[in-house]
Amino acid sequence: MNVIVQEEEGLFHLQSSGMSYLIQIVDGYPVHVYWGGRLQHRAAINHLLVHTWQGMGLDRLPQEYPQYGSGDFRNPAYQIELEDGTRITELKYDSYRLVKGKPVLSGLPAVYTEHEAEAETLELLLKDDYSGLQVVLRYSIFRDHNVIVRSTRLVNKGQQTLRLRRALSASIDMYGQEQLEMVYLSGAWGRESNIQRRTLPQGETRIDSKRGMSSHQFNPFAALVTPETTERVGDAYGFSLVYSGGFEAVAEVDSFGSTRLGIGVNSFDFAWQLNAGEEFQTPEAVMVYSEEGLGEMSRTYHRLYRSRLCRGKYRDQERPILVNNWEATYFDFNADKLVAIAEEGARLGIELFVLDDGWFGKRDADNSSLGDWYEDRRKLPEGLADVAKRIQGAGLQFGLWFEPEMISPDSELYRKHPDWCLHVPGRRRSEARWQLVLDYTRPEVRDYIYDSLAAIFSTVPISYVKWDMNRALTEIGSAALPPERQAETAHRYVLGLYELLERITANFPEILFESCSSGGGRFDPGMLYYMPQTWTSDNTDAVERLKIQYGTSLVYPVSSIGAHVSAVPNHQVGRITPLEFRGSVAMSGNFGYELDLTAFTEEEKDIVQRQVANYKEIRSLVQQGNLYRLKSPFEENESAWMFVSEDQMEALVYAFQVMAIPNGPQRILRLDGLKPELEYEVKSDIDEESSIYGGDQLMQLGLALRYEAKDYQSRCFRLRVRT
């Protein structure tokens, strides 16, 4: 059983294979009792705890969905304005409902079950009789993953219009554990997913995005950990929001040392009018508990997101090795040039050619044509379908880039529909990269985009689409919304995007979609629901990528992490690294190339051919295995990670040394995730012979590492259980 209910005591015990989450109704409030390692269910546990809190006042009560205005002075989970201008509501518990499996969230991306037995869902109904507001707190607990998925539905059952000023997905009060620390991912364009770790002081620690997209700056994720927690040991509590727009994750430590963590749609610049009878569904927050440190937290997210968030034909399939022409040609190409790169790719074993930006309208630079989604016959005189067929003829699949959420002021579309962009009348329309954002709150705009893309999908043999999005939202307003709904624009934009993505991916299930937002500006679980892989960063430098990919893997599965070998000197940082090193870094993700293969020497082509053949052998292990991070690039000159097959019979280790160290220390790398009692045959990339070691030896004693006395060295080991 996943949810145990003791009705008389108002106790709800949600239990997975390794985790328990306890809620109790105290004085009508849903109180947060416990979240951590699995507890045996004992009827007596609640008596202890109820007495602790009764009569203590709301400011000390650990709650599940706190309100504001009646004595709790911490951040509330929601706030409502009534017609009379008052902002006080008081939700009290009314009833509960249990549902097998996990109900669908209409219009929003969500983690799902394939069989009812995988999860059970508890719904708590709370009511504020005065305003008619009803709130449904939904908790889905997975049987085999230490995961609780939370979301909230706010329903207006009264007569008056309610105005939501804040509606978070989840809030939790952690108490009895002083000095929690917060781990999160911060960054910028080209520097995504830096792992940050901060001790939480009294007061607020806030990460958020006000950009209308999840952002390069902060990922919609935070974890609470204890000071002792490391990669391998200790408690880690993860919070990941399945949402692609502006979000907030706020940890607030009160004067008694308890920590409230709230996560959801950003309440800054948000309001939502809820007419009588209407409801508002928040996105969901995926909460993971690990007692084996951040490593196991990540693996739990990976398993869940790979198999129960990503969908479609490619979910469980190995992803094609691609070559993309962006860094090879930028806007300067013709059909023959593209075909030449593809033909070279075919000779080297590459499987997919991706035509990036510049094939449509009159796009010779990034200052025009977004919205005009028809082929540029000046560049491709025989048309796009002809290029695609020639590339297919060479033996590669064909993929195409779009940026469907954007409009260039210099475009036919803008000249025809100048009000189709997000804007505020009388204000300037701030351009970024010479472009504006289409108003996806409007169905006619989404229909236009759907029809434009569908026309190409139906006439050109396309196997893959890169869906790009290269600027944040500004002057967030819609010509189609009345004044009282203007503050809904940003969230309605995201809902409109999801509606369109659902339509496109459902109607073109054969296409593999990859999302992108100037690299990782929208690398979030919301997008992964529609598109199982993401272009991780525009920064393709292998040294930078060590950090970016390592950080991204804190939440996201390796199958979703796009990683390409690019040319040197690197276009973002000018660094020159060996092709072998670039290959090893990119082969640790969803692998491809992004350079002009025809410009390579024969020697370089040989290396590429070997890399491609090698990746085909290790691909399932990398993309579907369990990831163990061994050495962090944020801490040292070395990085290492390994991939272990589900049955632990096979593994692959990559280790990297960035700068050479003269006469350096003896390097030992302790492995993880193996079966201690089994013997593994270990073969390194530099030794002729393989050696046999016990799993216990490899994990406790470790592997000796030798690097050449040069900068930018990588080592690879393949492990197989000796049978």
Residues with a catalytic annotation lie at 468, 538
Q: How far is the CB of 166 from ligand DGJ (least distance, A)?
A: 33
Least separation in angstroms between residue 366's CB and ligand DGJ is 6
**Between 366 and 431, whose beta carbon lies closer to ligand DGJ?**
366
Query: What distances in angstroms separate CA 117 from CA 113, 143, 285, 316, one per listed residue?
Result: 8, 8, 21, 21
- Is 56 within 8 Å of 175 (Cβ atoms)? no
Work out which of 248, 292, 410, 468 binds ligand DGJ, going by CB under 6 A: 468
Site for ligand DGJ in 314-333 (CB under 6 A): 326
Please give the Cα distance from 186 to 178 (Å, whole number): 24
Residues 167, 282 contacting (CB under 8 angstroms): yes
Residue 598 DSSP code: G
Nearer to ligand DGJ, 152 or 435 (CB): 435
Name which of 572 and 714 has its Cβ closer to ligand DGJ.
Answer: 572
Nearest to 231 by CA among 185, 294, 183, 184: 294
Kindly state whether residue 513 participates in binding ligand DGJ, applying the rule CB under 6 A.
no
Write the secondary structure of 378-433 as one string of H (helix), E (strand) and C (coil).
Answer: CCCCCCHHHHHHHHHHCCCEEEEEECCCEECCCCHHHHHCCCCECCCCCCCCCCEC
CA distance 295 to 553: 10
- Site stretch for ligand DGJ (CB under 6 A), options 127-135, 183-191, 253-261, 512-520: 512-520
Nearer to ligand DGJ, 189 or 221 (CB): 189
Amino acid found at 125: L
Cα-Cα-Cα-Cα dihedral sign, residues 236, 109, 136, 16 = negative
**Distance of alpha carbon 511 from alpha carbon 559, whole angstroms:** 16
Closest CB to ligand DGJ among residues 295, 519: 519
Size of the site for ligand DGJ (CB under 6 A): 12
Three-class secondary structure of residue 693 per DSSP: strand
Q: Which two tokens stand for residue 526?
A: 């919301």
Residue 361 binds ligand DGJ (CB under 6 A): no
Answer whether 699's CB lies under 8 Å from 671's CB. Answer: yes
Q: Is residue 165 a contact partner of residue 172, using CB atoms and an 8 Å limit?
A: no
Q: Which residue has the tokens 């202890």?
A: 48
Report phi then psi at 551, rounded to 5. -65, -45
Cβ contact 471:367 at 8 Å: no
Cβ 535 to ligand DGJ, closest distance in Å?
Answer: 5
By CB under 6 A, residue 628 contacts ligand DGJ: no
Check binding of 519 to ligand DGJ (CB under 6 A). Answer: yes
Q: Tell me how far, at minimum, the Cβ of 51 lies from ligand DGJ, in Å.
A: 57
Q: Considering the complex, what minimum distance in angstroms separates the CB of residue 548 from ligand DGJ?
A: 13
464 binds ligand DGJ (CB under 6 A): no
Nearer to ligand DGJ, 470 or 572 (CB): 470
User: Which residues between 363 and 392 bind ligand DGJ (CB under 6 A)?
Assistant: 366
Q: Which stretch binds ligand DGJ (CB under 6 A): 77-85, 97-105, 228-236, 515-523?
A: 515-523
Does 357 contact ligand DGJ by CB under 6 A?
yes
| Secondary structure (3-state) at 641 | strand
Nearest residue to ligand DGJ on Cβ basis: 357
Instruction: Choose the binding region for ligand DGJ from 87-95, 386-394, 439-447, 516-524 (rule: CB under 6 A).
Output: 516-524
- Which residues partner with 642 through β-bridges? 628, 653
Q: Of the candidates 515, 554, 555, which has an alpha carbon nearest to the alpha carbon of residue 536?
A: 515
Using CB under 6 A as the binding rule, whether residue 401 contacts ligand DGJ is answered as yes
| Minimum separation from the CB atom of position 327 to ligand DGJ (A) | 8
**Least distance in angstroms from the C-beta of 326 to ligand DGJ:** 5
Say whether residue 184 binds ligand DGJ (CB under 6 A): no
* Closer residue to ligand DGJ, CB minimum distance, 468 or 541: 468
Interacting residues toward ligand DGJ by CB under 6 A: 326, 356-357, 366, 401, 468, 470, 516, 518-519, 535, 538
